Amino acid sequence: MTRRTGHGPRPTAGRPEGSTTDQRLLDSRGDVGWVHTDPWRVMKMQAEFVEGFNDLAEIGPAISVFGSARIAVDHPAYDLGLRVGAGLADAGFAVITGGGPGAMEAANKGALEAGGQSIGLGIELPWEARLNDHLSFGLNFRYFFVRKMMFVKYSQGYIVLPGGLGTLDELFEAMTLAQTKKITQFPIVLMGTEHWSGLLDWMRGSMLDDARIKQSDLDMLTLTDDPDEAVALMVAARDRRRS
């Protein structure tokens, strides 16, 4: 893992082109050199956990904001991200994103311009990637599961902007952790009724009607287009935690 106070390209030296550390870990064919054996990898995983815990331990109350890296600056969701980031900063929250472009950049930019703490947790990808330009500081991770742990451990809630597969992964992981009582008092807000309504309709009409989930699972989610409402829900959850 590398720590960056601003932005810049991710280091790629020492690994095959187009591969990632996660891929080499999970590929059963794998590398055969001793530095690529699983016991050695455990040491690298441990180092990422320790560095992440050390760098994020004192950030204070924080909210993770997720969304697509492919959202352009003129997309309505970009403006939502700006407003959410600024609102969270005004409410005294640090804003944590995946550190990339698009919706993540918007939330970071909104937070930083509002005088708040803006954090990016980047990930090694098979293509060249960089942290966005609107961070108080950023961390780059090799292992997805370590990075995801940091989002959950140091966030008091999630705000989820329109996104793709990665955004869905983060959303459903948070729901699963809350459902199974691995995390408590964890509000999840979906921003963008047009984007998310179809998914929620399917969950009600298929999963809920067939009793594969409970109404309480759906009740974990709040759907809104109003950044002020999203921030207010996070503030209310913070106040409940304090009391």
Amino acid at 50: V
pLDDT digit string (tens) for the chain, length 243 residues:
545 544 333 444 444 556 777 676 666 555 556 555 777 888 889 999 999 999 999 999 999 999 999 999 999 999 999 999 999 999 999 999 999 999 999 999 999 999 999 999 999 888 757 899 999 999 999 999 999 999 999 999 999 999 999 999 999 999 999 999 998 878 999 999 999 999 999 999 999 999 999 999 999 999 999 999 999 999 999 999 888
- Alpha helices, H only, the chain: 21-26, 38-56, 76-90, 103-113, 144-153, 165-179, 193-202, 215-218, 227-242
Give the pLDDT confidence of 132-157 residue by residue, as tens digits.
999 999 999 999 999 999 999 999 99
What's 89-101 look like in SS3? HHCCCEEEECCCC
pTM: 0.85
> pLDDT digit string (tens) for 159-173?
999 999 999 999 999
CA distance 209 to 147: 34
Indicate the SS3 state at residue 133: coil
**What's the Cα-to-Cα distance from 221 to each of 65, 83, 102, 113, 159, rounded to whole Å?**
14, 20, 23, 28, 10
Decide if domain 2-7+19-242 falls under CATH 3.40.50.450.
Answer: yes
Collapsing DSSP to helix, strand or coil, 47 comes out as: helix
